[in-house]
A and B are shown apart, each in its own frame.
Chain A
């Protein structure tokens, strides 16, 4: 069965500090997709990134960067120079390409990030 673990339940930083969110996943399939979603205090879920299991290149998008390491089954997310607007709950999720139908996502428990001014 698929499983996504976000060991950090809450992280508190001061503005401009970097923050790294850990995500460890388990799957028996060789083809899968990993995602990060952001849930700001307003409650909606915002898609941040998708990465497939064959692409281990790190990705940077502005102040956001992602480090995918298949060898350790990890897909970590770093926010550089954090800002108050980054305060949110962040979810890591896994989609099993081997499932017969559906893009069903398995979510981690989420990490709440609080950025203090």
Chain B
């Protein structure tokens, strides 16, 4: 059972380059999230999605774009990478409160993607 899978696990970019992080979940979750983790700051929400075709901004959305074209996938894009975007990125998914799914509020996380922007 794969759970939440992120690709790639590691990436080094030069300033100004673009890239996309892919998150895939096989638990039929409605909700998906992208967080970034920086030392001493915990995890901060970048963008999230409450269903296929919908996305919303989180706490730190600037410089990122997302898409949720399929329920199982949530893509995080960096159009023009900056050194400030060097971080570990975590994707997560969870059940929905609205659709009567079993919902403990727990987020299921991927293993993380370490991105370095030079």
Within 8 A of A (CB), among B31-65: 31, 33, 35, 40-45, 48, 50, 56, 58-59
Q: Are B42 and A103 in contact, with the CB atoms below 8 A?
A: no
Q: Are A45 and B90 in contact, with the CB atoms below 8 A?
A: yes
Number of A-B residue pairs at CB separation under 8 A: 60
A residues near B50, Cβ cutoff 8 Å: 101-102
B residues near A105, Cβ cutoff 8 Å: 43, 45, 107
Which A residues are within 8 Å of any B CB, using their own CB? 4, 6, 9, 33, 35, 43-45, 47, 50, 91, 93, 95, 101-110
A104 to B97, alpha carbons, bound, how many Å?
12
A99 nearest CB across to chain B (Å): 10
* B104 interfacial by beta-carbon distance below 8 Å: yes
A-B contacts, 27 listed (Cβ < 8 Å): A6-B42, A33-B105, A47-B106, A47-B107, A47-B108, A50-B104, A50-B105, A50-B106, A91-B43, A101-B50, A101-B97, A101-B98, A102-B31, A102-B50, A102-B56, A103-B31, A103-B105, A104-B33, A104-B58, A105-B43, A105-B107, A106-B45, A106-B59, A107-B43, A109-B41, A110-B40, A110-B42
| Interface size classification for chain B | 20 to 34
